[in-house]
């Protein structure tokens, strides 16, 4: 592997998994592109192109649906996170006010 320093075995394992996933994705993309290229030069090209186009359109529609669902989920989580941050800021402000009041009473 590289000379990179990992501060935990978990971080090292995570980096290794990430690298393996990237290699797997590249391999899969190469296999798919090679298969598509082979299909496009086959004798039944017109029929295969129609089937590929239908498959591609179906895949794009599904990807759009998944992306839309992901955006909705992300938006909900961001709203929830925003509320939590504002609540934490408000609670912190209240705690600071309470502390300031205690200090003023003690030194008054």
Rounded CA gap, 66 and 43, in Å? Answer: 35
Alpha-carbon span 58 to 32, nearest angstrom: 16
pLDDT digits (tens, 9 = 90+) for 53-79: 898 899 899 999 999 999 999 999 999
**Could you give the maximum distance between any two Cα atoms of the chain, in Å?**
95
Global model pTM greater than 0.95:
no
Tokens of 55: 């498959």
Contacts of 38 (CB under 8 A, 6+ apart): none
What's the distance, CA 40 to chain centroid?
A: 33
Give the model's pLDDT for residue 23.
92
pLDDT (average), residues 82-91: 92
């Amino acid at each position: 592997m590289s000379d990179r320093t990992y501060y935990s075995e978990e971080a090292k394992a995570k980096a290794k998994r990430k690298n393996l996933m990237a290699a797997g994705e590249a391999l899969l993309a190469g296999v798919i592109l090679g298969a598509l290229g082979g299909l496009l030069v086959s004798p039944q090209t017109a029929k295969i192109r129609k089937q590929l186009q239908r498959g591609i359109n179906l895949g794009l529609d599904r990807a759009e649906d998944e992306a839309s669902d992901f955006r909705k989920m992300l938006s909900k989580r961001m709203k929830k996170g925003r509320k939590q941050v504002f609540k934490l800021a408000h609670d912190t402000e209240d705690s600071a006010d309470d502390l300031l009041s205690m200090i003023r009473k003690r030194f008054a």
